[in-house]
Structure 1
Amino acid sequence: MDRARVEAAVRELLLGIGEDPDRPELERTPFRVADAYAEFFAGIGTDAVAIARDGTVHAEDGDRGQLVIVRDVRFRSVCEHHLLPFTGVAHMAYAPGDRLIGLGTLSRVLDAVASRPQLQERLGEQVTATIAEGLGADGVLVVLDAQHQCVTTRGERQSASTTVTVAASGTLAEAAGRAEAIALIGAGDGTRATPTVAPGHEAGA
């Protein structure tokens, strides 16, 4: 990232909205924003498929299980339309082929792909494709439930609304496999709502 350009752009933005970037309270704001953007966009240029592939191990037939689900993985990203954050939880499921992936690696893949200017719909599709390619899974399903600041803090200011997207591939894109995975994601302590998506309306359908 070109920090000097980011800092200069933030200074220009402050001037553009009628502020004085040289007043004491704002003089370090360009530096702080550059720091934040370095974190928010650290995934640009990162090979997320390599992260997934490096986190896999060979599994014998009896060790694989039929379905692996990791629920409630917190993530944050930045909407590319308004450069405002969206935050939420991801539920990731995969049907193993001949390899298993470290459970922590799934969150690292999600973070790498989320740390770019994003759309939630595309984020789910990219995480699904990354896990499928890096792991060689028979099927992958990713459910994202997120709150967007471009919705909660501007326009109609729907402060309680969230957006749910579903992306799937392979056996988990088939109706039966998808339904089973989504039902298991919604199971647990009895307080989690089961995501419901009409056939043909999930992301990528």
Structure 2
Amino acid sequence: MEKSYSEIIAALGEDLSRPGLVDTPKRAAKAMKFLTRGYEQSLDEVVNGALFPSDNSEMVLVKNIELYSMCEHHMLPFIGKAHVAYIPQGKVIGLSKVARIVDMFARRLQIQEQLTTEIAEALQEVTGALGVGVVIEAQHMCMMMRGVEKQNAMMKTSMMLGSFRSNPATRAEFLSLVN
């Protein structure tokens, strides 16, 4: 990866021996590995057995989970927040694990639509919840820094599974709590 960054920088017409760029290929490769570290994680590792018996059958919502991802089309960042809710069915997941699931999928080359789906399906798979709802709102650098250059555009996506899809009252409660 370091060699590839050297080639990219040289292709821009820059001098790789310039003091500010000497270590840039190494730093850029290290940064890219960090930004895409979700490829090195699995759902089992992230959850790490943090499922606990519970009689709770009311909605559990974790709001405003910040996320940082990379658009798979332009390899530019998109930055935003996820709101994740589920209706437990006999067990709950550790609170931090919800954020870790968001991070695991966000830290991959991604599109927001797929990210939303992956988070919802993973939480459903792990918890066996009666329903899962995920809303993501993010700003995309590929739209802000290039192309149409719209600074205030915000993309919102949602995915509803189980009772969040089939029960209008559950969906409405979730969306009112998010907004």
Q: The TM-score by the shorter chain falls in which range?
A: over 0.9
Correspondence 1:46 to 2:41: yes
Which stretches in structure 2 are left out of the alignment for 5+ residues? none
**2:174 paired residue number:** 181
Question: Where in structure 2 are the equivalents of 1:1-205 lying within 5 Å?
Answer: 6-52=1-47, 54-59=49-54, 61=55, 64-176=56-168, 177-186=170-179
Q: Distance in 1 between matches of 2:7 and 2:110?
A: 24
Matched with 1:193 is none
Q: CA RMSD in A?
A: 1.3
Displacement of 1:171: 0.8
1:108-162, CA deviations, whole angstroms, 9 ceiling, x for partnerless residues?
Answer: 1111111110000000000001000011111111100001000111111101111
Deviation sequence 1:33-80 (CA, Å, 0-9, x none)? 112112111110411255236221111x3xx14111111111101011
Partner amino acid, structure 1, of 2:128: G
**Counterpart Cα distance in 2 of 1:36 and 1:141:** 32
SS at match of 1:54: coil
Q: State the TM-score, normalizing by the size of structure 2.
A: 0.95
1:71-112 residue CA offsets vs partner (Å, 9 max, x unmatched): 111110101100001110110010111110111110011111
What fraction of aligned residue pairs are identical, expressed as a percent?
34
Letter of the 1:164 partner, please give it: K
CA, structure 1 residues 145+94, in 2 after alignment: closer, same or farther (shift >3 Å)? same
- Tell me, yes or no, if the aligned pair for 2:57 and 2:89 is still in contact at 8 Å: no
Q: SS at the partner of 2:159?
A: strand
Question: For the residues of structure 1 that align with 2:119 and 2:94, how far apart are their CA atoms?
Answer: 15
Q: Give the superposition deviation at 1:175.
A: 4.8
Please give the alpha-carbon distance, in whole angstroms, between the structure 2 residues aligned to 1:40 and 1:19.
24
Contact 2:52/2:92 (CA < 8 Å) preserved in 1? yes
TM-score, normalised with respect to structure 1: 0.83
Question: For 1:77, what is the secondary structure of its paired residue?
Answer: strand
Amino acid corresponding to residue 8 of structure 1 in structure 2: K
- Specify the alignment match of 1:191 in structure 2: none
Structure 1 unaligned segments of length 5 or more: list them.
1-5, 187-205
